[in-house]
């Protein structure tokens, strides 16, 4: 049995207006690709609808696909219209926006493309207006270096009429060495301050709320440490499979795709020390300190503290789905992991000895991203009727998606005569409390990049620090025979071994198949 208390905001929560972007000309490399259609265009359109764009805003899309402006605009319209991220689509609004969309076909290895971009950008220049340039590299990661080189060779990396920034999509390298090489290649052309490395999780409202929750409320800070926290559980579970991305995913796997960036970022925000300000330098400095405190694992530790899984056929949301090895484009003998669970230790004063369990997987029982902080039990089971009866410990849940919110589980007296306890939840849900549309991650990040605010982007040393944790695990996995794949059915909780990993210390994952009860 459990009761629920819904928290309400104490002040009016009318959505504040978003800030305005600087006057900015955006060039997207990979404009005919999936990310542009599904995420970037709906986000840009939405920003223009809520008045965030300057009248001097233009987008130049570039890609290998030959197309003229009209075809590009028509294609983008189809995608934006059906996107759930684009609020209030109307033809009038689209007309204003689409006049600002342009397309330049070209080969990123051909210097002519960059000269053409330059000419086009110059053509948009308004006398007396700042002329800021933003380059979005939304191509496969291997193309980032030639694009950045091309921009540098054409002198597009700097100019005297405004700023020039470059946005790089993840993955940023595939291991420590490649990340270092890419960093050094990029930094030959752009200053670190001009490089915006995207981890879209940082653009999610609920991820930013981790910082607000921790540092705007004095009651949690005194207990946010090894004296009170028993363990921390971080989950990113998805019901989708590999979708149409087999070629990418076969090379990447769950560890590189989700843990090396998104989940390590969630861990860092949960574990970091208070920054002296909420600005790019201070926040990123504290996150890097967390990454540096995570002990890299030896091969023996990797064997003990990491679990790999791969889904077999199964049922997801009532539908029969194939196993990973049967997905189009996947090697039928593939040993790529679609699930990973790990136990990390943050070796610093605050967190010494507290395990941070992290898991992520595709084709799991439900979509759920959350952080659960489990507090230590009270020293005495005063209210347990028998010695075997357990008092549940307090759990604080930061729900990132889909039901964004925060909840605290605590024990209350069970109604009736005896002094028994029952767990209850105090819940705060964004949708119930505010009922407003919050900007999607790409909107927030694009707007920040267009305003020159890098707080929610990852710094070069941060990315390298992430790979310093992940690369030894990837290397150890090449020395340890992989488990017998597939080892979990699509639509399940993931491999049984993941339960054993956390269960060694009588800890438990939050169940995916049932929203409330922990896996016993
Ligand atoms: C991407 C991964 O970075 O994040 C995908 O490449 C994953 O594999 C996606 O599906 C999850 O993002 P979100 O915002 O849906 O949680």
Ligand 1 probe mutation, 138, 246, 250, 257, most atoms within 8 A of CB: 257
Task: Quickly tell me which residue has 């597939």 as its tokens.
Answer: 486
User: How much is the pLDDT for 6?
Assistant: 63
Whole-angstrom distance, CA of residue 68 vs CA of residue 74: 10
Which is the catalytic residue, given 58, 102, 165, 262? 262
Give the model's confidence band at 389: pLDDT under 50 very low, under 70 low, under 90 confident, else very high: low
- Whether 410 has a pLDDT exceeding 70, the answer reads yes
User: How much is the pLDDT for 433?
Assistant: 80
Instruction: Considering only the C-alpha atoms of the chain, give the largest distance between any 2 of them, rounded to a whole number of Å.
Output: 83
- Whether 12 has a pLDDT exceeding 60, the answer reads no
Cα angle 408, 413, 414 (rounded to 5 degrees) comes to: 105
- Whether 388 has a pLDDT exceeding 80, the answer reads no
Name the strand (E) or helix (H) holding 281: helix 280-293
User: How much is the pLDDT for 190?
Assistant: 96
Q: If you average pLDDT over residues 157-164, what whole number do you get?
A: 87
pLDDT in tens, 317-349: 999 999 999 999 999 999 999 999 999 999 999
Give the model's confidence band at 295: pLDDT under 50 very low, under 70 low, under 90 confident, else very high: confident
Percentage above 70 pLDDT, the chain: 92
In ligand 1, the atom with minimum distance to the C-alpha of 238 is: 10
**Which residues line ligand 1 at a C-beta cut-off of 6 Å?**
238, 257, 369
- Whether 10 has a pLDDT exceeding 80, the answer reads no
- Whether 418 has a pLDDT exceeding 80, the answer reads no
Whole-angstrom distance, CA of residue 229 vs CA of residue 91: 53
Ligand 1 probe mutation, 200, 241, 246, most atoms within 8 A of CB: 200
> What is the distance in A from the centroid of ligand 1 to the CA of 401?
12
> What is the distance in A from the centroid of ligand 1 to the CA of 441?
12
> What is the distance in A from the centroid of ligand 1 to the CA of 200?
8
Name the strand (E) or helix (H) holding 125: none
Q: Which residue has the higher pLDDT, 412 or 509?
A: 509
| pTM confidence score | 0.92
User: How much is the pLDDT for 517?
Assistant: 40
Exposure on the CB side of residue 6, measured as CA atoms within 13 A: 8
Exposure on the CB side of residue 367, measured as CA atoms within 13 A: 9
Whether the CB-CB separation of 407 and 7 falls below 8 Å is answered with no
Q: If you average pLDDT over residues 394-411, what whole number do you get?
A: 92
DSSP 352: T
- Whether 136 has a pLDDT exceeding 60, the answer reads yes
- Whether 73 has a pLDDT exceeding 70, the answer reads yes
Q: Which residue has the higher pLDDT, 55 or 16?
A: 55
**In this structure, are strands 164-168 and 195-197 parallel, antiparallel, or unpaired?**
parallel
pLDDT in tens, 472-512: 999 999 999 999 999 999 999 999 999 999 988 789 999 99
> What is the distance in A from the centroid of ligand 1 to the CA of 339?
13
User: How much is the pLDDT for 11?
Assistant: 56
Q: Bridge-partner residues for 411, per DSSP? A: 423
User: How much is the pLDDT for 398?
Assistant: 96
**In this structure, are strands 395-401 and 311-312 parallel, antiparallel, or unpaired?**
unpaired
In ligand 1, the atom with minimum distance to the C-alpha of 262 is: 3
- Whether 284 has a pLDDT exceeding 50, the answer reads yes
User: How much is the pLDDT for 19?
Assistant: 82
User: How much is the pLDDT for 520?
Assistant: 33
Which parts of 452-495 fold into alpha helices (H)? 460-479
Residue nearest to atom 8 of ligand 1 (CA): 257
What lies within 8 Å, CB to CB, of 186 at 6+ separation is 144, 145, 148, 166, 168, 195, 460
User: How much is the pLDDT for 4?
Assistant: 55
Cα angle 208, 396, 257 (rounded to 5 degrees) comes to: 50
Whether the CB-CB separation of 186 and 463 falls below 8 Å is answered with no
Three-class HEC string of 375-438: ECCCCCCCCCCCCCCCCCCCEEEEEEECCCEEEEEEEEECCCCCCCEEEEEEEEEHHHHCCCCC
Percentage above 90 pLDDT, the chain: 71
In ligand 1, the atom with minimum distance to the C-alpha of 401 is: 16
Write the burial class of residue 8 (CB in 10 Å: 0-12 exposed, 13-18 middle, 19+ buried).
Answer: exposed
- Whether 514 has a pLDDT exceeding 70, the answer reads no
pLDDT in tens, 217-258: 999 999 999 999 999 999 999 999 999 899 999 999 999 999
> What is the distance in A from the centroid of ligand 1 to the CA of 431?
22
262 flagged as catalytic: yes
User: How much is the pLDDT for 181?
Assistant: 95
Task: Quickly tell me which residue has 């490399």 as its tokens.
Answer: 29
Q: Indicate the range of 108-112, 255-259, 310-314, 439-443 predicted with least confidence.
A: 439-443
Phi-psi region of 12 (alpha: psi -120 to 50; beta: other; left: phi over 0): beta
Q: Which residue has the higher pLDDT, 393 or 135?
A: 135
User: How much is the pLDDT for 131?
Assistant: 82
In the chain, the N- to C-terminal Cα span, in Å, equals 16
Give the model's confidence band at 155: pLDDT under 50 very low, under 70 low, under 90 confident, else very high: very high
Name the strand (E) or helix (H) holding 68: none
pLDDT in tens, 359-386: 999 999 999 999 999 999 888 767 666 5
- Whether 66 has a pLDDT exceeding 60, the answer reads yes
Q: Indicate the range of 51-55, 122-126, 171-175, 233-237 predicted with least confidence.
A: 122-126
Give the model's confidence band at 435: pLDDT under 50 very low, under 70 low, under 90 confident, else very high: confident
Task: Quickly tell me which residue has 């400095």 as its tokens.
Answer: 285
What is the pLDDT of the chain when averaged over all its residues?
90
- Whether 436 has a pLDDT exceeding 80, the answer reads no
Length of the chain counted residue by residue: 520
Give the model's confidence band at 1: pLDDT under 50 very low, under 70 low, under 90 confident, else very high: very low
What lies within 8 Å, CB to CB, of 86 at 6+ separation is 42, 45, 46, 49, 80
In ligand 1, the atom with minimum distance to the C-alpha of 204 is: 14
Q: Indicate the range of 20-29, 177-186, 258-267, 353-362 predicted with least confidence.
A: 20-29
Whether the CB-CB separation of 271 and 396 falls below 8 Å is answered with no
């Amino acid at each position: 049995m459990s009761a629920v208390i819904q928290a309400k905001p104490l002040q009016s929560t009318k959505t504040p207006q978003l800030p305005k972007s600087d006057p900015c000309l955006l060039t997207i490399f990979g404009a005919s690709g999936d990310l542009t259609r599904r995420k970037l265009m709906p986000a840009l359109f939405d920003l223009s609808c809520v008045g965030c764009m300057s009248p001097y805003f233009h987008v130049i899309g570039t890609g290998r696909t030959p197309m003229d402006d009209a075809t590009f605009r028509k294609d983008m319209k189809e995608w934006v219209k059906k996107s759930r991220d684009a609020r209030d689509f109307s033809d009038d609004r689209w007309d204003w926006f689409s006049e600002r969309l342009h397309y330049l076909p070209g080969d990123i290895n051909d210097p002519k493309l960059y000269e053409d971009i330059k000419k086009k950008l110059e053509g948009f220049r308004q006398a007396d207006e700042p002329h800021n340039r933003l380059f979005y590299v939304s191509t496969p990661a291997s193309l980032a270096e030639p694009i950045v080189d091309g921009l540098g060779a054409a002198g597009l990396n700097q100019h005297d009429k405004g700023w020039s920034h470059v946005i790089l999509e993840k993955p940023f390298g595939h291991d420590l060495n490649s990340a270092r090489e890419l960093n050094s290649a990029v930094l030959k052309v752009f200053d670190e301050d001009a490089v915006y490395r995207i981890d879209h999780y940082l653009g999610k409202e609920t991820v930013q709320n981790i910082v607000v929750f921790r540092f705007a409320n004095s009651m949690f800070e005194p207990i946010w440490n090894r004296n009170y926290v028993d363990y921390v559980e971080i989950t990113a579970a998805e019901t989708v499979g590999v979708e149409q991305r087999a070629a990418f995913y076969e090379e990447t796997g769950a560890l590189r795709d989700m843990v090396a960036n998104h989940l390590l970022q969630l861990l860092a925000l949960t574990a970091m020390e208070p920054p002296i300000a909420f600005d790019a330098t201070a926040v990123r400095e504290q996150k890097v300190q967390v990454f540096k405190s995570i002990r890299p694992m030896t091969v023996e530790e990797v064997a003990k503290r990491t679990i790999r899984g791969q889904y077999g056929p199964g049922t997801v949301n009532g539908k029969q789905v194939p196993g990973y090895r049967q997905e189009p484009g996947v090697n039928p003998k593939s040993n790529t992991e679609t699930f990973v669970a790990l136990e990390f230790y943050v070796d610093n004063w605050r967190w010494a000895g507290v395990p941070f369990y992290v898991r992520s997987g595709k084709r799991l029982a439900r979509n759920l991203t959350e952080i659960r902080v489990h507090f230590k039990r009270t020293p005495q089971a005063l209210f347990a009727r028998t010695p075997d009866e357990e008092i549940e410990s307090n759990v604080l849940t930061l729900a990132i998606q889909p039901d964004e919110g925060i909840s605290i589980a605590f024990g209350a007296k069970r109604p009736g005569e005896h002094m028994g306890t029952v767990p209850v939840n105090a819940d705060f849900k964004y949708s119930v409390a505010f009922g407003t549309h919050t900007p999607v991650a790409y909107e927030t990040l694009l707007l920040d990049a267009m305003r020159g605010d890098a707080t929610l982007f990852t710094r070069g040393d941060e990315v390298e620090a992430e790979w310093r944790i992940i690369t030894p695990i990837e290397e150890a996995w090449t020395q340890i025979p992989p488990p017998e794949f597939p080892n979990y059915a699509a639509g399940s909780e993931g491999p049984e071994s993941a339960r054993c990993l956390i269960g060694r210390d009588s800890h438990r994952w939050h169940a995916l198949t049932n929203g409330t009860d922990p896996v016993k």
